[in-house]
Amino acid sequence: MVAKLLDGKKLAMEIRTHLKQRVQELKQKGVTPKLVVILVGNDSASRIYVRNKHRAAQKIGIETKDIELPQEITENELLAYVKKYNEDDSVHGILVQLPLPAQINAEKITHAIAPAKDVDGFHPVNIGHLFMNDPHALPCTPHGIMQFFKKYNISLMGKHAVIVGRSNIVGRPMAAMMLNNDATVTITHSKTKNLSELTRQADILIAAIGQAEFIKKTDVKPGAVVIDVGMNRNDKGKLVGDVDQKEVAEVASYLTPVPGGVGPMTIAMLMEQTVKFAERGVQNVDGEVSNG
Ligand SMILES: NC(=O)C1=CN([C@@H]2O[C@H](COP(=O)(O)OP(=O)(O)OC[C@H]3O[C@@H](n4cnc5c(N)ncnc54)[C@H](OP(=O)(O)O)[C@@H]3O)[C@@H](O)[C@H]2O)C=CC1
Ligand SMILES: Nc1nc(=O)c2c([nH]1)NC[C@@H]1CN(c3ccc(C(=O)N[C@@H](CCC(=O)O)C(=O)O)cc3)C=[N+]21
């Protein structure tokens, strides 16, 4: 079998076209969706994200403001930025890039972002809604992955989904979304025993580990759908995923490439959520007027 590649670049482009239309409608009502991105220090995956986000926003007509802060910034200084944009009515979305430096408690920052502006969907209130199958804001990477399943008619019902990685950004919300769509979900991590035995049972395998080309052909059941979330540099400085793409393409039915797979979809979903939040603002105003 040779895996069919799930083209994230193409799907993201389709989504952008729809979003452009929605942004135009908002602009006719006098509203420009605005996203504030806060980057502390110099994480390499975050750099890629910030650059590509900026490009996508420009194409769609979303306004972005990038705030770049030094590695040494204090927690209180960062909190002051979050507070400022929470209170700024022209801002619809706030995203603080993770990871944050050690002197800052990331949880405290995540809690500080107003849930209604939490485009990442990381606030405990939003995570709670997601786990109760009543989502208000969806974490962008797993939400982007769900779009592949929709687009390529990959049903999750009754399927065994195995997720490698339990981060708050990817693994955990991915598990919730797949569970909400009737998959049977196994979450694995660095303390999991006999990992390969579990991954080989997966109808759908999600690799969100952060280790270059970790998942090999022998870890994959023939015909499985394999989603590669990883963004790593190999010894030669090349961008590679968590899946050994060359080997795994020989056994999987579908595979997301790196680059051009999950990454562009993460960005497309971030744009979508920003537009959605801006639309909610307009609806609220309309609502107030009609209740007048
Ligand atoms: N394409 C995209 O849009 C995005 C890509 N990424 C990329 O995805 C990858 C994962 O990111 P993120 O979730 O933030 O990473 P984290 O480092 O936060 O989490 C990694 C997870 O993988 C687990 N893990 C690490 N090593 C092993 C191992 N040998 N066996 C089993 N499990 C292991 C860890 O287990 P434990 O909990 O026990 O430590 C942890 O749960 C990175 O390469 C990142 O750059 C991230 C976000 C978006
Ligand atoms: N609060 C927060 N939310 C995040 O969602 C978040 C974060 N912090 N910190 C960093 C990780 C990483 N991440 C990426 C998203 C897209 C690409 C991306 O665009 N990838 C392109 C790369 C192509 C190129 O080389 O330019 C691709 O895969 O095709 C990369 C990385 C989001 N993350």
Asked whether the domain spanning 140-262 has the same topology as the one spanning 30-116, the reply is yes
CA distance 92 to 114: 10
CATH class of 140-262: alpha beta
Strand partners, 233: 239
Q: Which residues contact 61 (CB under 8 A, 6 or more apart)?
A: 20, 23, 24, 27, 32, 33
Active site residue 97: yes
Residue 99 preceded by cis peptide, ω within 30: yes
Q: What is the CATH number of domain 30-116?
A: 3.40.50.10860
Q: Which residues line ligand 2 (CB under 6 A)?
A: 45-46, 48-49, 52, 95-98, 120, 140-141, 169, 231, 239, 258-260, 263-264, 266-267
Per-residue pLDDT of the chain in tens (292 residues, 90 and over written 9): 799 999 999 999 999 999 999 999 999 999 999 999 999 998 877 888 888 899 999 999 999 999 999 999 999 999 999 999 999 999 999 999 999 999 999 999 999 999 999 999 999 999 999 999 999 999 999 999 999 999 999 999 999 999 999 999 999 999 999 999 999 999 999 999 999 999 999 999 999 999 999 999 999 999 999 999 999 998 999 999 999 999 999 999 999 999 999 999 999 999 999 999 999 988 766 555 444 3
Domain ranges of the chain: 30-116, 140-262
Nearest CA to 178 out of 143, 212, 211 is that of 143
Q: Alpha-carbon distance 158 to 160, whole Å? A: 7
Q: Is 120 a catalytic residue?
A: yes
Cα 136 from Cα 126, distance rounded (Å): 6
